[in-house]
Chains A and B, each alone.
Chain A
Amino acid sequence: MEYVKQQIEELKGYCSKVSALTEGNDTYLHLEKLRLPDGCEPRECDALLRPFGGSDGYPSRLYFSVQIRSSYTRNWNISNARICEKNWFAFSWMVNRPLPTLAQILVAHLTGFTKEK
């Protein structure tokens, strides 16, 4: 799977480095030192964006290298999932409206830290 270069460039604003990681036929986007919204602890961490649907039923998913503390309690239903030879955490957050860009998908997931439900 190839991503539009311009969209990758846009993602770079949110983190220190973007790289593609492949597992099977799927290409994930590795976001190093992703900045997290105000109120999160830590304020940044590595993340893995899966901008496509998976067998878990989520149309897209954002995984974090650590479990994040935020203002709202989240259901961290993925813990130490092994993807692309790293362990990842994710909370249950469904981004169900089609969004045109990778950055918008990322922001939709980050919104999970800033709203109650």
Chain B
Amino acid sequence: MKKPTLLGILVCLVSSLGVSQTAVFPERLASGWAKEGRPSEFQGGNLFNYIDGGAEIFLEFGFDRLLVQDYKKGNSEIVLELFEMESPESALGIYLMKCGTETPVEGVPARNSGDKTQFTIVKGPAFIHINNLDAGASLLPAMVELARSVLDTIPQGRPVKLLEGLPSESRITGSERLIRGPYALQSIFTLGEGDILGLEGKIFALAADYRDQEGEPSARILAGYPDEARAAAVFQNLVTRLDPYLKIIEKRDRKFIFTDFRGRIGTVERNGARLEIRLNLAVRPSVSPL
């Protein structure tokens, strides 16, 4: 299997594209829908004033600004939410958390998942929700029209290549995730409290599910750090602060094996400046060489 050059992929520069400087909300759609009032705007931590309780994951991935614009036609209403994330990586990270099993909507010119009730879209550093508050199928064409109109004004930006760091062999399509802190990690597994992986809101770790030879699914998390010392410190942090429901059953300098609360096996291994964590293994891996 080809070794991913993880750190090389993880380490990249942010280009703040300023989505809203180019994104334009149409005043009126050809189908007769029109803006209802001015957009509401929420910046940084003020996101709590819009999604009190749901803001943390956006902030963890890197959130700049949210614009919320209502559109009305008669008594029907569509709400457009444009989240300006710090980078295309940030936007992809939140998209992968929110998209569910992807069901692309025909006619939406960007990566998306949705149905008659809600579109979830990512393009460049923009993460977009289009919500149908009436939930009826009749608004679907207007939702597509609105999506196309807004997306046309958002530049695609540079491609995100982070996920190329995940080995492709036996990977379960659609299971890929980005992790930038405890909230994203918790959706997958509980290794411990707080920022147990030491990502510090700066490093994107990668995660995906894989099938073993018997077809059993397991999960893999890859995290690249700026140097070996940092990776070693995180490894030690995992050893000392591992979740109490996880029991270390074997430990060497750079690797340990644990059982989880269901008796499944997990491993943590440091290789240079990167950590590889395997979870939900049905069979204990060979112990030699640890």
Asked whether A and B interact, the reply is: no
Residues of A at the B interface (CB closer than 8 Å) are none
